């Protein structure tokens, strides 16, 4: 039996599901993160009755937000959001460190179903053109900061790679995967959603701090500009190895993260993994919070929200929970 490639400090690394695992190749000093989601993906993606193409796109956004948000300090948040002119108008995912996730989508149901019916519901056409924004809220009194990249009928992964090239100047490999699988067994069969992702980035020789961008080349487009490190032999070798990963490997619950890293990077020798972060779905909504929000509305605005029996109902966009209030509860 081949030796395991990783030096992990936690049994979770060999567990398999609902974790994000950071790692580094010791030989080449390339860093990466691996996401594996089972129950968490299914919980978030099935809270609403979305069409399959919307679920897949939201799943990609959930994995991407996890890969980007995992390094944040406890209590910090990353908000990933798209706003585009395609049938899939909005995707919103919140990652709160460490490991808490929620998300939802807004879309034109008729257009999405028509595209699904004629087989044209690719992620790039669903999104159309617009922007992808990634906002980091460090918490406390510290200021938020935001990165924005244009989306031009491309996938979330492609848009994110453009962001890494233009804003962070980091050579990056990224793979996102979402699929519905039939889970058999006494614990509960039937179809369940799974998700996974792999991010690999070149580190600078000075401890991982991105180095200044090279001077621009006259007449070159943004995606043609060179980045420090992308011609490095170590980066070329590791990124080529990373690119051999298959979707089914990212999603396979019987393939542990350690074994997957060994399968991909055994030529690099030891891969050192940090403690995995467990992932969980969450929502900030509560009955008291919604009631407080409704009490801030003027009387006329509340009247417009009342149902025939006088009740006011509010449904959370993230978790789909519905809260109903009598007139006496909210005024």
pLDDT given for residue 212 in this prediction: 36
Let me know if domain 287-330 sits in CATH 3.40.1280.10: no
What's the residue count for the chain? 331
* Beta-strand pair 6-7/271-273: parallel
Q: Could you give the 3-state DSSP secondary structure of residue 32? A: strand
Q: Give the residue ranges of the chain where pLDDT is below 50.
A: 1-5, 8-14, 186, 206-225
Q: Which residue has the tokens 């491309």?
A: 154
Report the pLDDT value the prediction gives residue 28, as an integer from 0 to 100. 87
Give tens-digit pLDDT for 284-298.
999 999 998 888 886
Which pair of structure tokens corresponds to residue 117? 């019916």
All structural domains of the chain with their residue ranges: 6-281, 287-330
Distance CA 57, CA 194 (A): 13
pTM for the model stands at: 0.86
C-alpha distances in angstroms, 244 versus 28, 111, 144, 169?
18, 35, 36, 23
For the chain, the first-to-last Cα distance in angstroms comes to 69
pLDDT of residue 167: 83
Superfamily grouping for domain 6-281 = Hsp33 domain (3.55.30.10)
- Nearest 5°: CA angle at 63, between 72 and 41? 115
């Amino acid at each position: 039996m081949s030796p395991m490639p990783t030096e992990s400090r936690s049994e979770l690394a060999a567990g398999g599901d609902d974790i994000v695992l950071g790692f580094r190749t010791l030989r080449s000093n390339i860093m990466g993160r691996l996401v594996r989601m089972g129950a968490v993906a299914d919980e978030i993606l099935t809270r609403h009755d979305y069409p399959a193409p919307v679920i897949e796109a939201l799943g990609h956004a959930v994995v991407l937000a996890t890969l980007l948000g995992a390094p944040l300090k406890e209590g910090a948040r990353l908000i990933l959001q798209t706003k585009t002119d395609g049938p899939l108008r909005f995707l919103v995912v919140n990652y709160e460190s460490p490991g808490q996730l929620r998300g939802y989508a807004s879309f034109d149901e008729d257009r999405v179903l028509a595209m699904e019916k004629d087989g044209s519901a690719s992620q790039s056409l669903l999104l159309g053109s617009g922007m992808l924004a990634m906002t980091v809220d460090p918490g406390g009194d510290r200021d938020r900061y935001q990165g924005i990249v244009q989306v031009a009928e491309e996938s979330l992964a492609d848009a994110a790679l453009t962001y890494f090239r233009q804003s962070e100047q980091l050579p990056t490999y990224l793979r996102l995967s979402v699929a519905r699988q039939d889970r058999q067994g006494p614990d509960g069969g039937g179809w369940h959603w799974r998700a996974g992702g792999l991010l690999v980035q070149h580190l600078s020789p000075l401890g991982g701090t991105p180095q200044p961008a090279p001077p621009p080349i006259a007449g070159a487009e943004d995606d043609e500009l060179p980045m420090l490190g992308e011609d490095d032999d170590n980066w070329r070798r590791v990124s080529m190895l990373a690119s051999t990963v298959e979707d089914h490997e990212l999603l396979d619950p019987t393939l542990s993260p350690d074994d997957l890293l060994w399968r991909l990077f055994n030529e690099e020798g030891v891969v050192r993994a940090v403690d995995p972060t467990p992932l969980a779905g969450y929502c900030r909504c509560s009955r008291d919070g919604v009631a407080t929000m409704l009490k801030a509305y003027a009387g006329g605005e509340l009247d417009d929200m009342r149902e025939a029996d006088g009740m006011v109902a509010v449904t959370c966009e993230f978790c789909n929970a519905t809260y109903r209030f009598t007139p006496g509860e909210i005024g």
